[in-house]
Structure 1
Amino acid sequence: MKKTKVIVLADNAKTSPSRLLRYIASLKIPGIIAKETCFGGYIEGEAELVDELAKKIREFERNRIFCRDRGYPIWDKRRCRAFRGGGPREGFHQLEAEQKVLDKIGLALDKIDKYGVMPMDEVLKKEEKLLKKEKPLSVEKFKEIVERALKNV
């Protein structure tokens, strides 16, 4: 069974899409098709090989390279801009928005690697402490903010 994966590089990755594709090509895995994109690339082939390759790619720059399954094969005429007359494909803007937060996710993963995962009871204690600091906004104050905002529209 064939499978396609999307490989997305975080903005703070040291790897570029072209370097990533050179790395994939250097592995010389038969039956794997790779395509460079502005955000990283696609890999396609037998499901087991693709999953194995995705793990290797992630280890290349662990907390800066992210992979997910793609519903369509590379060069699928329903999705490929070359066949649809250009313009962004469906879902591109969502992928673009997701990519913008990957650098922050990578930094969080770095901290987890360095310090481990905080136990849930500690998380809940910190949350409770933060919530006690926050004062609820009164209805009157909220109404005033909304009215001021509407006057500026």
Structure 2
Amino acid sequence: MIPEAMAPHQPVNPKPHIATPLVRNYGARRVRVGADAYMPVMVNSVLPATARPHRPAPILICRKCLKRAANGRAIKRALKAELKALGRARGVKRPRIVMTGCFGICPKRAVTAASGATLARGEFLLLADDDQATAAAARLMARDI
């Protein structure tokens, strides 16, 4: 047993009913360690690290479709605004819109969009007009798979 004088100093938790995250100093950075860490520190680990983002899953939009559609910029702008409003209503950050390569569907005069939830169901959304952004945002941010 280590005498109290030699034991490492443990910070006193002023609110013992609330667990405090373990914070370690790595040079100039302070890194949270433990189950609630944003991204665990990689220290010669055998298993890959898992990072949990602070946002919902990204929305994927085909760059080629946006360029081909006459109103592609309006569709992207309306979808981004609807995602922002829906995220604010749910109390979460809006998902990022990520421009991707071709999905291989190539609709005429429409834009192909997908998210993690729609891809899990095997669905792609085809947006022909910026008026469809409200319904598309709700389906793209759906939580059920």
TM over 0.5, yes or no?
A: no
- TM-score, with normalisation over the residues of structure 2? 0.23
Structure in which a larger fraction of residues adopt helix = 1
Greater relative CO, 1 or 2 (CA 8 Å, sep 6+) = 1
Which TM-score applies when normalising by structure 1? 0.22
